[in-house]
Chain A
């Protein structure tokens, strides 16, 4: 129950500024000469409406953000009533809400008027009037807004009191040590000063007891006078006492150092007793270090004891100065509070008949308290072997042999090898050192290991038998008849022939830098022709004779006659005999000589010539020239070899 997040309430002037500047910022501001009247009207209507909307929104927010008193817990309601005066608060909120309605009415009226305005000027005047009236209304809200902002600030600083949780309420006269107690018991930093009314409002601290969180409320001191005369500070205490369902610790200073007599304190207790109805009350006798209870006069002792007689009141003793009994008080009160609350809850959950209500049963079902086995004693089991085990003693020669001892006996570390197989758990201990193949026949043995291999294998054998019977394995390996073999052989022969032919053709096709010679022009010797025919099975004997007879002899005709060799239609041209001969001659065929060898008489000359050739080549090679005609001049100073720094290393490279 916090009111820490209420938005700040602006003052009236700020409110007006916010609303008007927003209207100015969010809406178009310029009217141009050519605008139609309808557009101008819309322009100003929008202004009025927008201002109204902003006002309503803001005012609505203010009204909504404050708590509604009737919805609050009675404690909070009363506290607010005391602190801020409920009437005042309600009136302020009511004024704000009325202003909102009024602004809406104004806006409605002026929008209606604006519909009938005839000119820009008229529109503008109407708008001004509307906004002005709204501003006036808000100006009138000056006081409520101021008040509401103060309330907001105060609310935000109120302690966070939860009226339903486990609560310990500390009450009593001023200056009796209430705040000191709260300070020493909780983490709260309540001010402690040696004068009355140090604490002017409620303070809340928290403490933990049995893993539960308790709320401790420190109240301002109360004086013993009628309720009507109490001031605001005291009233807060009274409110807390009245409305919180808590364990009340009424502090009494028996040393009377606080400035109030023990009698006065007792009478206060009596006078506020009606507030303690249905509550646990503890009277804490404080400042025991100054004056122990036993030192009191008997009649005073009697009076204090009298207080405790009536109803649910206990007397506890403590000293906040020495911390004596403070923790005891705390623990006692918390314990009592806890048991009381649990009992109350159980009571609330049970119907008059004694059976548990549905909600309670639901809770109880979820609670399980484990109980020790009823009556059965379970002895711990210790095996005989363990019971008889002798305590290990290093010096005893008949001690148990440890693995370490075995290692020592067998050559020590690095020599002894632990026998890992020794402790194998197998059906037969004799199997421990069996060597099992991991791979058999190229297959992993582990993949085949199967406890029910027998059954599976039997099934396979059965299947095998069945297949055998069905003739699954009968082979019909006939190698074919003779003629098939022959055909295949012939085919193979033909294929080989094809391959050869193909190869030949391929060889023929590769030109190797030679000209394509047409088939007609290709030279085929007579022998080739003859061989081919012979291959085809033709007897060439007689054709050969005939063919040879008919072939023209190569070279010139033996007879030099021009008769019959010349074109009869050609022009008669005078030629010398030499010219004529020349024209008829055949080009000399290429000599079959190696020009490299030509002109060198013998082997000695040959080697000499080679040496000379090499010598001539030497300079060119040295200068990396490609040949005689290579005139290339390389870069004299390559950039990459001359620019930049050199690191450690070669001087020729960078």
Chain B
């Protein structure tokens, strides 16, 4: 029993899942699902499809050169069973995967360096150009507040700011969505859980970058 990587997308394909194609020259192709099989039959190049491991590696989206990646290899020389060796190996596997995930995190960070600055710059520009779309108080509201201020003897401006704040926060709540739970891998190796109560459909999950990767990097 083996967990083979899919020939097309590179996902691990577990026994009983997927399909294997044996070409008449003896080469076998393992596909994790019918999607990959169909794409293969259509003679598509996995390097050109964004959802495949091959693409991600080719496009520099994943760690390709690292010493941790050299541990796993198909060996054609069988090694006789040795209890100590297997124990050591299992321990080593754990340690290697730990180191690897740390390095992958660093790799991701390096790849994403400067992203926030770009985002902020873009946001600044957008805000500067579309000032008129920002929430503001209605005329009638202003009037009401002015009256209220006069009544209470408070500063109008304060009231208005307070009101504006209320408007903005009330805008954020969505009709759908609920609690989103995310796991974030920290560089020190630990995993922290982040809970956001207001996440909704509008909030793209894939711009987060590493949530979707978790599905792919188990090979």
Contact = CB atoms under 8 A, between A and B. Distances in A.
Interface of chain A, helix or strand or loop or mixed? helix
B218 interface: yes
Given A495-B126, A537-B136, A451 B85 contact: yes
Q: By CB atoms of chain A within 10 A, which of B3, B136, B202 has the most? A: B3
B171 interface: yes
Given A426-B81, A438-B1, A536-B139, A448 B92 contact: yes
Contacts of A440: 90, 93
B49 interface: no
Contact of A539 (B73, B102, B136, B139): B139
Interface string A495-536: 111100000000000000000000000000000000001111
Contacts of A438: 1-2
Contacts of B136: 536-537
A490 B139 contact: no
A536 B134 CA distance: 10
B95 to A, nearest CB: 7
B67 interface: yes
Given A442-B12, A449-B75, A537-B137, A494 B86 contact: no
A539 B126 contact: no
A161 B116 CA distance: 103
A488 interface: yes
Nearest to A442: B218
A432 to B, nearest CB: 9
B109 interface: yes
Q: By CB atoms of chain A within 10 A, which of B85, B126, B143 has the most? A: B126
A539 B134 CA distance: 18
A335 B109 CA distance: 95
Given A437-B90, A473-B188, A540-B140, A484 B3 contact: no
B64 interface: no
Size range of the interface on A? Answer: 35 or more
A618 B23 CA distance: 62
Interface string B76-94: 0001111101101110111
B27 interface: no
Interface in B38-80: 67-68, 71-75, 79-80
B133 A425 contact: no
Given A438-B1, A491-B126, A538-B139, A449 B89 contact: yes
B138 interface: yes
Contacts of B68: 460
Nearest to A463: B67
Interface residues of B, number: 58
A448 B139 contact: no
A431 B123 CA distance: 64
B120 interface: yes
Nearest to A426: B81
B3 A448 contact: no
Interface string A422-456: 00111110010010111111111111111101101
A443 B69 CA distance: 12
Contacts of B142: 537, 539
Interface in B115-149: 116, 119-120, 122-124, 126-127, 130, 133-140, 142-143
Contacts of A494: 126-127, 130, 133-134
B94 A441 contact: yes
Contact of B140 (A431, A436, A461, A534): A534
A490 B134 contact: yes
Given A443-B218, A449-B89, A457-B92, 7 more contacts: A431-B82, A441-B97, A443-B72, A453-B92, A480-B120, A491-B122, A540-B139
Q: Kindly list the 3 A-B residue pairs having the minimum CB-CB distance in the complex, ordered from nearest.
A: A491-B123, A539-B139, A447-B72
24 contacts: A431-B83, A441-B93, A441-B97, A442-B219, A443-B72, A443-B93, A444-B2, A444-B3, A449-B86, A454-B88, A457-B95, A460-B95, A473-B102, A474-B187, A475-B186, A475-B187, A480-B120, A488-B120, A490-B123, A491-B124, A493-B133, A494-B134, A498-B130, A539-B140
Interface of A: 424-428, 431, 434, 436-451, 453-454, 456-457, 459-461, 463-464, 472-475, 480, 484, 487-498, 533-541
Interface of B: 1-3, 12, 67-68, 71-75, 79-83, 85-86, 88-90, 92-97, 99, 102, 106, 109, 116, 119-120, 122-124, 126-127, 130, 133-140, 142-143, 168, 171, 186-188, 202, 218-219
